[in-house]
Structures are given as C-alpha cells and as structure tokens.
Homo-oligomer: A and B are copies of this chain.
Amino acid sequence: MKQIRPTESELEILGILWEKGPSTVREVHDILSQTKDAGYTTTLKLMQIMHEKELLQRDTSSKTHVYTAAISQQTTQQQLLNKMIDTVFGGSASQLVMQALGQHKSSEEELDKIRQYLSEMEKQQKKNR
C-alpha cells in the first residue's frame, strides 16, 4: 500500500475537509485561523501543494476553487495508528487503547459503544472456531 505522510499542517487541513466536506480556501482558512495564526496566502499555498501531492482534489470550474480530501479519513487513521502503535507503543494495540481510554475521559455513551464492539468481536471469534 502507498504510504502517505501528511505533515502536521496538512493533517489540520485534511481534518477540516473531512468534517466539512468540499470547501474553499477561505472556508478552510477561517476555521484554521481560529486556532492558528497564519495568513490567507499561507493556507492557500499549503492547499495548492497538497493538491500537487494529490492529497487534495479540486474543482476549478468557478473562480473560487473548491477542494476535497483525496485520501480517506479511515485509511489515514489506520496508517497513522499503525505507525504510532509500532514506534510509540511497542507494538501493543491494547496498550494504546487503554491509554486512550484512560485520559481523554470518554462519555458513558462512548464506553457503551466500545463494549458493544468488543462483544461483537467475541461473537465473531466463537463463530470462527
């Protein structure tokens, strides 16, 4: 599989596009500048480069270009997770899971989802015996 290596800034932009869907530079920049301090042309340039790298697609049919994430959130998540598990968690996924549950205090609802998910996995496993 092709390994993608978005930078920190690129991930911020991807995150916005994943959440908001297709957006203009202006829209992305407005959100970005709430937490970050950079000029408009900086965001523009970043997104243009991301387009060259094929991290973003764009529609240039109207004057104001519209950008879309060209790599899926799921795939990106998985690749970053795998790398993180390997380098920072010594290869143990469960170690990562427990660390994640520990601090970032999840809501009761979230914990329920995880329990459901676990018992679902359990069922599958029995079936495959």
Contact = CB atoms under 8 A, between A and B. Distances in A.
Interface of A: 5, 8, 11-12, 14-15, 18-19, 73-74, 76-78, 80-82, 84-90, 92-94, 96-101, 103-104, 106, 108, 110-111, 113-115, 117-118, 121-122, 125
A33 to B, nearest CB: 16
Contact of A96 (B14, B76, B81, B88): B81
B111 A104 contact: no
A11 B117 contact: no
The oligomer's copy count stands at 2
Contact of A78 (B12, B74, B99, B113): B99
Given A121-B101, A121-B111, A88 B80 contact: yes
B89 A77 contact: yes
Contacts of A80: 84, 88
Given A88-B11, A100-B81, A94 B73 contact: no
B85 A108 contact: no
A86 B110 CA distance: 16
Contact of A106 (B15, B87, B94, B103): B94
